[in-house]
């Protein structure tokens, strides 16, 4: 208990945050009117967001310990507890989730016309699932939320998606499930070895034998790498993103794919420090490949959403690069970049959804000259484009700079390769922007500047505004966010470097034979 601070508030704030959306579901079941359903869901998500806000103010930035912890017995015979809490790493994801959920409801206001009730139930269930993953401090609870989250997402893609939705949904489901099952095996091993407890903090204190660490690391890696997604298990992402409805894409980009990286931070690194050092080399290389590969694929994309999906692969490559550089700057940059990516790509998918409602096409070649047609939209998208390619003054710069700094510190060559990703990023994003907004399209296409297309309306501007505030806020004053993670990151790095077997070095070559 020495590494936890129990909830000091007179109400269980985390439980409220996590389960408030769930309370909305039975209410929705009683409502018939579509409009009332939308308003109720919006209200539920907004209440959840405001309930989660005190976490920021009440958070003690000086300690790495778990805070707002709530604990009660759940299945005592198996050593399973209801144990939840947050630290400086997970706090942002909680807030990002609660914020993005509101925006998801707002952006679907008009685009979802059928099965309205089912859609909103899925969104609320999704929110609970995601929040649960980030607060769970007990493996059983964690795994429960981790898998539960798949179902609403499967429904969102499979029912409300595009033409090829079933394929994408099944692919997404099977990919992630295959990874998660290996993680389940890992959890069982931990449970048996760690004295029949599933308390994550307790399990983090144990020193595991070296070979066991390797196997466990690989089991967890399977689950997290798919979720991130890292090269070469990234191919579910473009399909899922392309076919998912706007809200689904936003959740997917904003929160879901952050869970993989979060898993690395929460489980792999503190529990398996030797394996982390051992595997950091290959993971760094995979990250570099993801950065360059993802960016190169973007040049050949013809589909708007698919391009952004592949750019996500590239950006998440930056995240894993930063995390596994295993130094303060890289890790803080990585965590910040996760938030940034959630904000930027989340906003990008929101905007794509908005234009899709008007044009009903995702093919880049169908667009052209949109800067004249929808100037406000073009202006907003311009900001996103430059945030995405890491222009200083936007949040993208802070994250990418810290990551490249960390990578460069870990290994110069890595830093150089990572920096090329920025050149490529500018290349494909500006080409995309030019094709859609600037040059006049082929007049044969439908939306070549002749047809009237509505510009953004107030609801849409309100949807986007919070994210744009965040873009500049993090860009000009990132310390608001960085200072929350300092102590947690320092503690995590200490844990990784306290390894017994490897002695603080990356000994990739030495142990290559020992795995098998």
Partner 1 sequence: MLKYILIPLLPLLSFIINILFGRNYIKNRAHWIAVPAILGSFVLAVSACIEVLNGKVIDINVYSWIVSGSFNVSVGILIDQLTAVMLMVVTSIGSLIFIYSVGYMHGDKGYYRFFAYLSLFIFSMLTLVMANNFLIMYLGWEAVGLCSYFLIGFWFHKKSAGDAGKKAFIVNRFGDFGFGLGVILIFLTFGSLNYMEVFGAAGGIVGQTITLLGYKVDLITLICLLLFCGAMGKSAQFPFHVWLPDAMEGPTPVSALIHAATMVTAGVFMVARCNTLFSYSQTAMNTVAIVGGFTAIFAATIALVQNDIKRVIAYSTVSQLGYMFLALGVGAYSAGVFHLYTHAFFKALLFLGSGSVIHALHHAKQDDEQNMQVMGGLKKHMPITYWVFILATLSITGIPFLSGFFSKDEILWQTFQAGDLGKFLWFLGALAALLTAFYSWRLIYLTFHGEYRGDTECESRIHESPLVITIPLMLLAVGAVAAGWVGIPPVFLEHGDKIGYFLAPVLGHPEGHGTHAQEYFVIASSIFVAIAGWVIAYIMYIKNPGLPEKLFSAFRPVHKVLFNKYYIDEFYDKTIVQPVLKASDKIILAFDVNVIEGVVNGVPSLIGVFSKGLRKIQTGLLSNYAAVMAIGVLCVVGYMFFMR
Q: What residues line the site for partner 1 (CB under 8 A)?
A: 171, 174-175, 232, 234-236, 293, 296-301, 327-329, 332-333, 369, 371-372, 375, 379, 386, 391-393, 397-398, 401-402, 404-405, 408-409, 412-413, 415-416, 419-420, 422-424, 426-427, 430-431, 434, 437-440, 476-479, 482-483, 486, 490
User: How many beta carbons lie within 10 A of that of residue 5, not counting itself?
Assistant: 15
Nearer Cβ to partner 1 (324/437): 437
Say what the alpha-carbon torsion angle 292, 297, 299, 302 is, to the nearest 10 degrees: -160
Nearer Cβ to partner 1 (60/303): 303
- The answer to whether 290 touches 313, Cβ cutoff 8 Å, is yes
Mapping DSSP to helix (H, G, I), strand (E, B) and coil, where does residue 138 land? strand
Q: What is the 3-state secondary structure (H, E, C) of 421-471?
A: HHHHHHHHHHHHHHHHHHCCCCCCCCCCCCCCCCCCCHHHHHHHHHHHHHH
Nearer Cβ to partner 1 (196/372): 372
- The answer to whether 136 touches 142, Cβ cutoff 8 Å, is yes
Distances (CA, A) of 306 to 134, 242, 295, 352, 359: 28, 6, 12, 11, 17
Least distance (Å) from partner 1 to the CB of residue 479? Answer: 6
Nearer Cβ to partner 1 (142/293): 293
The rounded distance, in Å, linking the Cα atoms of 127 and 17 is 10
Nearer Cβ to partner 1 (40/314): 314
Least distance (Å) from partner 1 to the CB of residue 340? Answer: 13
Nearer Cβ to partner 1 (50/476): 476
Cα 59 to the chain's mean position, in Å? 22
- The answer to whether 336 touches 402, Cβ cutoff 8 Å, is yes
Distances (CA, A) of 121 to 20, 29, 47, 105, 146: 13, 8, 16, 11, 18
Nearer Cβ to partner 1 (122/387): 387
Distances (CA, A) of 79 to 31, 132, 140, 408, 411: 40, 19, 10, 44, 43
Least distance (Å) from partner 1 to the CB of residue 309? Answer: 12
Least distance (Å) from partner 1 to the CB of residue 437? Answer: 7
Nearer Cβ to partner 1 (80/313): 313
Least distance (Å) from partner 1 to the CB of residue 84? Answer: 28
Least distance (Å) from partner 1 to the CB of residue 150? Answer: 18
User: How many beta carbons lie within 10 A of that of residue 29, not counting itself?
Assistant: 10
């Amino acid at each position: 208990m020495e590494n936890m601070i129990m909830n000091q508030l007179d109400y269980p704030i985390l439980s409220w945050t996590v389960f408030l959306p769930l309370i909305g579901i039975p209410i929705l079941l009683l409502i018939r009117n579509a409009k009332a359903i939308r308003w109720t869901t919006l209200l539920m998500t907004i209440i959840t967001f405001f309930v989660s806000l005190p976490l920021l103010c009440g958070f003690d930035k000086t300690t790495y310990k778990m805070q707002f912890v709530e604990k009660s017995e759940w299945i005592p015979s198996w050593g399973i507890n209801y144990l939840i809490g947050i630290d400086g790493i997970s706090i942002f994801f909680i807030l990002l989730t609660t914020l993005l959920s509101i925006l998801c409801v707002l952006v679907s206001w008009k685009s979802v016309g059928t099965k309205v009730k089912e859609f909103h139930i899925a969104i609320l269930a999704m929110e609970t699932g995601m929040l649960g993953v980030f607060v769970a401090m007990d493996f059983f609870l964690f795994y429960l939320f981790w898998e539960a989250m798949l179902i609403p997402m499967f429904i969102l893609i499979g029912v409300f998606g595009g033409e090829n939705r079933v394929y994408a949904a099944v692919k997404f489901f099977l990919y992630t499930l295959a990874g998660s099952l290996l993680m389940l095996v890992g959890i069982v091993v931990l449970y048996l070895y760690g004295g029949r407890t599933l308390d994550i903090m307790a399990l983090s204190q144990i020193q595991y034998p070296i070979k066991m660490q390797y196997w466990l690391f690989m089991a967890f890696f399977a689950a997290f790498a798919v979720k991130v997604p890292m090269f070469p298990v990234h191919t579910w992402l473009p399909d899922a993103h392309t076919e998912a409805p706007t809200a689904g894409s936003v959740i997917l980009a904003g929160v879901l794919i952050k869970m993989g990286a979060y898993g690395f931070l929460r489980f792999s690194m503190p529990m398996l420090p030797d394996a982390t050092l051992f595997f950091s080399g290959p993971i760094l290389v995979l990250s570099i490949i993801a950065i360059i590969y993802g960016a190169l694929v973007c040049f050949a994309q013809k589909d708007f959403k698919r391009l952004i999906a592949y750019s996500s692969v590239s950006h998440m490559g930056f995240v894993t690069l930063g995390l596994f550089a295993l130094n303060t700057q890289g890790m803080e940059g990585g965590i910040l970049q996760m938030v940034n990516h959630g904000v930027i790509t989340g906003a990008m998918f929101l905007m794509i959804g908005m234009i899709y409602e008007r044009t009903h096409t995702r093919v880049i070649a169908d667009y052209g000259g949109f800067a004249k047609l929808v100037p406000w939209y073009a202006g907003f998208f311009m900001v996103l484009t430059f945030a995405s390619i890491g222009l200083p003054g936007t949040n993208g710069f802070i994250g990418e700079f810290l990551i490249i700094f960390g990578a460069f510190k870990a290994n110069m060559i890595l830093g150089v390769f990572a920096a090329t990703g920025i050149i490529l990023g500018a290349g494909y994003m500006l080409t995309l922007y030019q094709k859609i907004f600037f040059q006049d399209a082929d007049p044969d296409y439908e939306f070549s500047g002749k047809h009237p297309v509505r510009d953004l309306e107030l609801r849409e501007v309100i949807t986007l505004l919070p994210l744009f505030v965040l873009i500049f806020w993090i860009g000009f004053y990132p310390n608001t966010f960085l200072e929350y993670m300092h102590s947690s990151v320092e503690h995590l790095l200490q844990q990784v470097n306290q390894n017994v077997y490897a002695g603080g070095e990356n000994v990739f070559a030495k142990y290559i034979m020992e795995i098998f």
